Amino acid sequence: GDSVTQMEGPVTLSEEAFLTINCTYTATGYPSLFWYVQYPGEGLQLLLKATKADDKGSNKGFEATYRKETTSFHLEKGSVQVSDSAVYFCALSEWDTGNQFYFGTGTSLTVIP
């Protein structure tokens, strides 16, 4: 069945460091891929998405490229800020599994000044 695997956290970085959070997926067809972010005390918010192979999603300086050959959707940011401290979830959705989402376990990021 469909699934998403994320790198384990927590991740601690200094401000302005480069961020990579790895995400790989298993799907039977052609899923859409998403990154969600959860700030402390809040619900999950969509950060970015990509709907087909080689698409690049981007938002707020974050980027992720849909790599079908490696079944990956790694999240990157060139220079993190303290305000990026949050939990990041990778997710997929596939049309033939209906409207269900499959979420990864989440990766906690703390950025220190």
Partner 1 sequence: DAGVIQSPRHEVTEMGQEVTLRCKPISGHNSLFWYRQTMMRGLELLIYFNNNVPIDDSGMPEDRFSAKMPNASFSTLKIQPSEPRDSAVYFCASRGEGLSSYEQYFGPGTRLTVT
103: closest CA among 77, 73, 64, 68? 73
Per CB under 8 A, does 57 bind partner 1?
A: no
Cβ–Cβ under 8 Å, residues 77 and 61: yes
Given candidates 25, 93, 109, 111, which one binds partner 1 under the rule CB under 8 A?
93
| In contact, 48 and 32? CB cutoff 8 Å | no
Could you say whether residue 95 binds partner 1 (CB under 8 A)? yes
- The Cα 58–Cα 62 span in angstroms is 5
Which of 1, 10, 40, 43 is in the footprint of partner 1 by CB under 8 A? 43
| 40 touching partner 1, by CB under 8 A | no
Contact residues for partner 1, defined by CB under 8 A: 31-32, 34, 36, 42-46, 49, 51, 89, 93-95, 98-101, 103, 105-106
